[in-house]
């Protein structure tokens, strides 16, 4: 069949991964088992398997063509207009990509809902970076915000994420998107923190709506995201927020150490929070190996190890 939109997008420069080649496993229409209120695609009926999709052969041939034209691709990103793990031949596709990718990394961006299906769990184990969403911990919030397909169970997802983190030898990143009045209440934030501690991902990206959403919902403020980051003590939290306010302050050595003990800070956090003198102190702590700069799948964190 022919596709009105391309399977491949890119290569495009990515802030985290260098040059990224995007693979859209659902190029013609939205195919998803969620219909999130904040989705940037049009609302659509949920489904549990894709009905229209490119063959493994077509995807691999497109990747080979791109490799010939652009030999310096750093990462192949598996995504979709919808949910990429609904692609019926996911494991076979990943096996074929792994045969030809050489040093190129693989990344998948998924809503996380299918992780408890054995074949998908196994397929995810073969990908270099797995980034999954987790917007809510209570089934009520999950249903309301992510408008899930019947039968998807948040408890089973969290249990599988805990197992996955223990088993994977690769990078596992979680993403939480906060929406005003839906998952920004104290109770839900605490429940998320408890679940995230058990899952123990390498990194948690937190953010809010920054593109026109499918339904009438509102973003949360930067202050709310900062509060969440401070609640998620000891976790590598990366705040993603467009036009983040710059509020630099002066911190002494004791304050810097105690802040980093509470939570690791990204380079972006430092740029937005530290005045020049505080940065000098931080760099000295780095030179003295009291603070370390640790890479977590493309995001650098200042940490006390
Ligand atoms: S999981 Fe992603 S594609 Fe699916 S509805 Fe939610 S935001 Fe849209």
Is residue 109 domain-shared with residue 255, that is, in the same domain?
Answer: no
Residues of the chain with pLDDT under 50: none
Is residue 294 domain-shared with residue 148, that is, in the same domain?
Answer: no
Is residue 20 domain-shared with residue 154, that is, in the same domain?
Answer: yes
What residue numbers bound the domain in which 300 lies?
A: 246-305
Cβ neighbours of 203 (radius 10 Å): 22
Residue 241 half-sphere exposure toward CB, CA atoms < 13 A: 22
Predicted pLDDT at 94? 98
How many angstroms is it from 120 CA to the middle of ligand 1? Answer: 18
Residue nearest to atom 5 of ligand 1 (CA): 35
Predicted pLDDT at 100? 95
Bridge-partner residues for 20, per DSSP?
Answer: 12, 75
116 closest CA partner among 92, 143, 151 = 151
Which of 24, 25, 35, 36 to mutate for ligand 1's pocket (most ligand atoms within 8 Å of CB)?
36
Question: First CA to last CA across the chain, in angstroms?
Answer: 53
Is 36 touching ligand 1 by the criterion CB < 6 Å? yes
Q: Which of 173, 203, 237 lies at the terminal end of a domain, its last residue?
A: 173
Is 175 touching ligand 1 by the criterion CB < 6 Å? no
pTM of the model: 0.90
Predicted pLDDT at 233? 93
Residue nearest to atom 2 of ligand 1 (CA): 82
CATH number at residue 79: 3.20.20.70
Predicted pLDDT at 19? 86
Q: How many domains does the chain have?
A: 2
Residue nearest to atom 7 of ligand 1 (CA): 39
Residue 37 within any structural domain of the chain = yes
Instruction: Give the ligand 1 atom nearest the CA of 147.
Output: 5
Predicted pLDDT at 71? 82
Instruction: Give the ligand 1 atom nearest the CA of 35.
Output: 5
Residue 262 within any structural domain of the chain = yes
Q: In 3-state terms, what secondary structure has residue 60? A: helix
Q: Which of 154, 173, 192 lies at the terminal end of a domain, its last residue?
A: 173
């Amino acid at each position: 069949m022919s596709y009105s939109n391309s399977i491949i997008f890119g290569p495009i420069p990515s802030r985290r991964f260098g040059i990224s080649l995007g693979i859209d496993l659902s190029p013609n229409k939205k195919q998803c088992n969620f219909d999130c209120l904040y989705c940037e695609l049009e609302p659509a009926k949920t489904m549990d398997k894709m009905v229209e999709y490119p063959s493994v052969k077509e995807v691999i041939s497109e990747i080979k063509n791109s490799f010939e034209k652009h030999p310096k691709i750093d990462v192949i990103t598996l995504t979709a207009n919808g949910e990429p793990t609904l692609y019926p031949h996911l494991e076979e596709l990943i096996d074929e990509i792994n045969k030809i990718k050489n040093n190129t990394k693989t990344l998948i961006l998924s809503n996380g809902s299918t992780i408890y299906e054995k074949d998908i769990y196994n397929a995810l184990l073969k990908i270099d970076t797995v980034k999954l969403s987790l917007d809510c911990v209570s089934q009520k919030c999950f249903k309301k915000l992510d408008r899930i397909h019947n039968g998807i169970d948040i408890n089973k997802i969290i249990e599988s994420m805990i197992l996955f983190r223990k088993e994977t030898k690769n990078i596992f990143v979680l993403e939480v998107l906060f929406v005003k009045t839906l998952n920004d209440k104290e109770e839900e934030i605490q429940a998320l923190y408890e679940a995230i501690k058990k899952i123990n991902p390498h990194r948690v990206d937190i953010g809010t709506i920054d593109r026109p959403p499918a339904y009438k919902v509102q973003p949360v403020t930067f202050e709310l995201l900062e509060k969440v980051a401070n609640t998620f003590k000891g976790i590598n939290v990366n705040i993603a927020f467009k036009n983040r306010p710059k509020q630099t302050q002066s911190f002494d050595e004791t304050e810097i150490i105690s802040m980093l003990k509470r939570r690791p800070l990204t380079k972006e956090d430092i740029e937005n929070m530290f005045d020049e003198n505080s940065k000098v102190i931080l760099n000295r702590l780095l030179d003295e190996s009291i603070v370390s700069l640790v890479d977590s799948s493309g995001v650098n964190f200042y940490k006390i190890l």
